[in-house]
Amino acid sequence: MPTSFYNTLHHRLEDFVPMHPGPDPADAIKGSQIGIYSCGPTVYDYAHIGNFRAFLFADVLRRYLELRGAHVTHVMNMTDVGHMTDDQLADGAGRDKLEVAVEKMKENKKQGKAQIENPNDPFAVADFFAQAFLQDARLLGLGVVADYDAASTDESKERIIPRPTRHIPEFISMIETLIARGHAYIGADGVVYYDIRSFPAYGKLSGNSLEQLSHGAGGRTNEQAAKKHPADFFLWKPDRHHLMRWPSPWGDGYPGWHIECSVMSMRALGQSFDLHTGGEDNIHPHHECEIAQSEGATGKPFVKYWMHTRHLMVNGEKMSKSKGNFFTIRDLTARGFDPVVIRWGLISTRYREPLNFTIQGLYEAAAAITTLRDLAEKLTAAVAAVDEAAGEGDFSSPGTTSAPLHELVLEPADQQMLTEFNLAMDDDLNVSGALAALFTWANPLHKQKKLAYRQARSALQSLKKVDHVLGVVFVDLQALPQDRQRQVEDLVQKRTAARQQKDFAAGDMIRKQLLSLGVEVKDTPAGTTWRSRLAPEKLSQ
RNA sequence: GGCCGGAUGCCCGAGUGGACUAAGGGAGCGGAUUGCAAAUCCGCGAUUCGUGGGUUCGAAUCCCACUCCGGCCUCCA
């Protein structure tokens, strides 16, 4: 069963074979070294769920390859160079986006809701939103950010999540190379342009020909006397008045918005690497231009597999601020949805299908995750009971058990589930199909009253494996704030007291109160327990 | 105008020629359990896959036409 992905470069499903395969000829992914570069966020504002769909798709890809035994080096940029807002004059007219962000910050400061010390400093503004992004990404469990946090030096962090403003000299040097190799020229206006006619493959990724591009009916490839071809794009633009600017051989100015990914990806992953991901809007022009730049500069094939995710819709419409269907991660967590729910909502639809995001969908996600977490709890308890008796210690933390997890021989049912899960994932990351395999497996376990130790241990191990990809079961939920926790415990006690006196009306009232605090109680023969809900109380009509 | 996707039950969403009397999740309904809940258990629900043709022994799956929806074509994940 070959692993296949849809490669945008060739517009078809292709078997995935890593450039640096593992030792086993029957399974090239196991033990392979795989480089992935993902187009990351721009840090002019808070990232929204649409952005995160793209980042999470890359995360699922990366985690699945890890599950298959690959050593993945995952790189994601964070664009902090201000690019332009105006699409009518594509070659860098209009206002700088960071300039807009700076204005907004200044306005906030005036209104007393200052977010940073000096809102005039574009670097500080970019840094503010970069930190906000990292926070959101941690909540959603992006592996690349975990790598970043675990990295011990600034340089290693910079390889994992590079920031363009820290690599300007490298951009300049690549532009010089492109000029030297005849792929770039200085226009009559002093701007350095890429000469797309020097790179005949330009347009391959999006299925465009140069002919079509020059006659684009969108009318957006504006004729400019300074350029040789209307679709030539700029690499460096001298502009002494630009907010962020750096010295260069072509005058003080700023880089084009494609060069950063060419430079930073090759810097971390080498001149040729396996996978490059992004949103579908990146295909043209961004990735098209990246290929032209990178291959123009090195003369080598740049990326083997290009993967792009479809855009996200909200309630059947394009997400936009004016329609009121624009969500950030903090919007949703503030409403009481746990980040795991958001993660599930964004990954459970296959990346190449358009995703219609709804609040209803988040409730469904919460229900599905709760089922799996309940099962995990049951399995863990069954295993812990025996381990404790045998003095084997805590199974849930690897390394403390006498039998390391990876040496376990799995039960046939578990093995079958993993096989089916992988089969679906091998089919261009069919997450929905993979989840079906998981639930089909989970249901009988749920129903089973008593679990044998062997069975529970094997099942737990299997669930952990698939959760390496899903990242929603064996992760901590958002903790209640201290004061809220005390309030909850107090209420639970009051309820227990009321119930002991058979005052069920009072008890039920308190249960409702707890529900509105995001907490549900469970009465068992052993007593009352409570836990946080993954989704807020549904407003009843 | 060019290029590219999509349409499956109440909702989300697999399935791309025969094991489909269509996976899985959610919501719903009836019953068991419960002080009532939650969780769990048992049971129920698409003779049908946007519409119309065609190919085939056989189609959700292939072909043609049509309708509708969405994306990209130098802001965008």
pLDDT digits (tens, 9 = 90+) for A258-272: 999 999 999 999 999
- Across all strands, nucleotide nearest A374 (CA–C1'): B39
Determine the average pLDDT of the residues in A168-174.
96
Res A391: pLDDT: 57
Whether A399 has a pLDDT exceeding 50, the answer reads no
For A450: left if phi > 0, alpha if psi spans -120 to 50, otherwise beta; the answer is beta
- Across all strands, nucleotide nearest A258 (CA–C1'): B74
Determine the average pLDDT of the residues in A265-286.
93
A107, two tokens: 């306005």
List the A222 CA – B12 C1' distance (angstroms): 43
List the A204 CA – B73 C1' distance (angstroms): 13
Q: Is the CB of A300 under 7 A from strand B?
A: no
What CA–CA distance (Å, rounded) separates A68 from A362?
29
State percent of chain A over pLDDT 70. Answer: 89
Q: Is the CB of A368 under 7 A from strand B?
A: yes
A189, two tokens: 């206006």
Task: Please provide the average confidence, as pLDDT, over all residues in chain A.
Answer: 87
Which residues are CB-contacts of A130 (< 8 A; sequence separation ≥ 6)?
Answer: A43, A78, A80, A163
Higher pLDDT, residue A391 or A97 = A97
Q: Is the CB of A91 under 7 A from strand B?
A: yes
pLDDT digits (tens, 9 = 90+) for A288-306: 999 999 999 999 999 999 9
Range 382-411, chain A: CB under 7 Å to any strand B atom: none
Res A230: pLDDT: 83
Band (A308; pLDDT cuts 50, 70, 90): very high
Res A64: pLDDT: 96
State percent of chain A over pLDDT 90. Answer: 59
Specify the DSSP class assigned to residue A191: -
Determine the average pLDDT of the residues in A273-302.
93
Q: Is the CB of A97 under 7 A from strand B?
A: yes
List the A491 CA – B12 C1' distance (angstroms): 36
Q: Is the CB of A284 under 7 A from strand B?
A: yes
Q: Contact at 8 Å (CB) between A204 and A283? A: no
Q: Contact at 8 Å (CB) between A347 and A368? A: no
Half-sphere exposure of A291 toward its Cβ, with a 13 Å CA cutoff?
Answer: 24
- Ordered by where they begin, the domains of chain A are 20-309 (3.40.50.620), 370-470 (no CATH), 482-532 (no CATH)
Res A459: pLDDT: 94
- Across all strands, nucleotide nearest A208 (CA–C1'): B3
List the A462 CA – B6 C1' distance (angstroms): 35
What CA–CA distance (Å, rounded) separates A266 from A273?
8
pLDDT digits (tens, 9 = 90+) for A14-35: 899 999 999 999 999 999 999 9
Whether A220 has a pLDDT exceeding 70, the answer reads no
Name which of A307, A347, A416, A429 is nearest A4 in CA terms: A429
Range 150-189, chain A: CB under 7 Å to any strand B atom: none
Question: Out of A134-148, A288-302, A326-340, A382-396, which region has the weakest mean confidence (pLDDT)?
Answer: A382-396
Determine the average pLDDT of the residues in A169-198.
94
3-class SS at A464? helix
Determine the average pLDDT of the residues in A372-394.
78
Q: Given CA atoms A313, A315, A317, A323 in this order, what sign does their dihedral have?
A: negative
Band (A129; pLDDT cuts 50, 70, 90): very high
The helix or strand, by DSSP H or E, that contains position A305, with its residue range, turns out to be: strand A303-309
Question: Out of A17-26, A78-87, A307-316, A409-418, which region has the weakest mean confidence (pLDDT)?
Answer: A78-87
- Across all strands, nucleotide nearest A90 (CA–C1'): B74
- Across all strands, nucleotide nearest A438 (CA–C1'): B24
Range 205-224, chain A: CB under 7 Å to any strand B atom: 206-208, 212-213, 216-218, 220-221
For A458: left if phi > 0, alpha if psi spans -120 to 50, otherwise beta; the answer is alpha
Q: Is the CB of A524 under 7 A from strand B?
A: yes
Q: Is the CB of A131 under 7 A from strand B?
A: no
Range 482-501, chain A: CB under 7 Å to any strand B atom: 499
Range 39-78, chain A: CB under 7 Å to any strand B atom: 39, 41-42, 47, 50-51, 53-54
Range 455-484, chain A: CB under 7 Å to any strand B atom: none
Whether A217 has a pLDDT exceeding 60, the answer reads no
- Across all strands, nucleotide nearest A230 (CA–C1'): B74
Q: Is the CB of A360 under 7 A from strand B?
A: yes
What CA–CA distance (Å, rounded) separates A82 from A329?
23
Band (A510; pLDDT cuts 50, 70, 90): very high
Whether A501 has a pLDDT exceeding 80, the answer reads yes
Whether A334 has a pLDDT exceeding 80, the answer reads yes
Whether A13 has a pLDDT exceeding 60, the answer reads yes
Highest mean pLDDT: which range of A21-25, A118-122, A408-412, A515-519: A21-25
Radius of gyration of chain A from Cα atoms? 26
